[in-house]
Amino acid sequence: MLEQGISVSQESNTKQVWTSDEFTERLKDVGRSFYHDKHPFHVRMHEGKLSKEQIQGWVANRYYYQKSVPIKDAAILSNLPSRDLRREWIGRIMDHDGTTEEDGGIEAWLKLGEAVGLTREEIVREDHVVPGVRFAVDAYVNFARTKPWIEAVASSLTELFSPNLIFKRMKVIEKLYPWINSAGLEYFQNRLTQAPHDSDVALKLVLSYCQTLEDQQKAVEALRFKCDVLWVQLDAIERAFP
């Protein structure tokens, strides 16, 4: 990240490229400081303090993000420079879209919506999606579509941090929100294995292709941008469902 007003080009001229370990720690530092598990809305969720309406609002709005993830990944896929990379990346789209009407992350999220008392129809119609969420998610898709592919890949590295949050969330829901049907937790269960695999692939790409300090810094900035997108979504949800 840029610090004390030093530009990327200035720092690139005065500092050496980070080692792989240093680069990895810079990326992980973004999660330690800015990942949305620290947002007050998430904190209250994990303390069991959210109302049913707030949980429903979160699920309904998060659907807009979930349905946009494969669109984002398709945008990245279209910019990848080799078929080997495309073969590796395309699995993310299938994970979310599924191969039938009965599987995939989007379908699993709809089942979560039903488990919290929403109807599938109102979720898909986006009846409860607020403008701030829509704006943030659309900005993320546009980022993936227009930025250099390695920066877009770097932005996906929030998956480095998500398994711990997902595991904690599952335990919290089972213990503190017993009214939520446990059958709706399939999405979280699946991501416990999918996210580590996806983050391993993305991290290897970022470490391999970011060979200058400027490229490394842009990757860190891309990941910070993604954290901001997730944070802004929660800001919007918190305001809409006080």
Sign for the CA dihedral angle at 203, 208, 210, 212 comes to positive
97 within 8 A of 174, measured Cβ to Cβ: no
Distance CA 68, CA 187 (A): 15
Q: Which domains does the chain have, with CATH numbers?
A: 8-240 (1.20.910.10)
Tell me which residue has tokens 């807009």: 64
Q: pLDDT by residue (tens digit) across 36-94?
A: 999 999 999 999 999 999 999 999 999 999 999 999 999 999 999 999 999 999 999 99
What pLDDT does residue 12 have? 46
Q: Output the average pLDDT for the chain.
A: 92
What pLDDT does residue 153 have? 97
What pLDDT does residue 10 have? 45
Distance CA 87, CA 81 (A): 11
> Which amino acid would we find at residue 186?
E
Residue 236, C-beta contacts closer than 8 angstroms, at least 6 positions apart: 61, 130, 131, 132, 133, 136
What pLDDT does residue 98 have? 86
Helix, strand and coil percent figures for the chain, each rounded to 5: 80, 0, 20
36 within 8 A of 228, measured Cβ to Cβ: no
Instruction: State the Cα angle at 109 between 153 and 172, rounded to 5°.
Output: 95
What pLDDT does residue 116 have? 96
What pLDDT does residue 102 have? 72
pLDDT along the chain (242 residues), means of 10: 42 74 96 94 96 97 97 97 95 89 88 96 97 98 97 96 90 94 89 90 96 97 97 97 94
218 within 8 A of 125, measured Cβ to Cβ: no
What pLDDT does residue 123 have? 97
What pLDDT does residue 101 have? 73
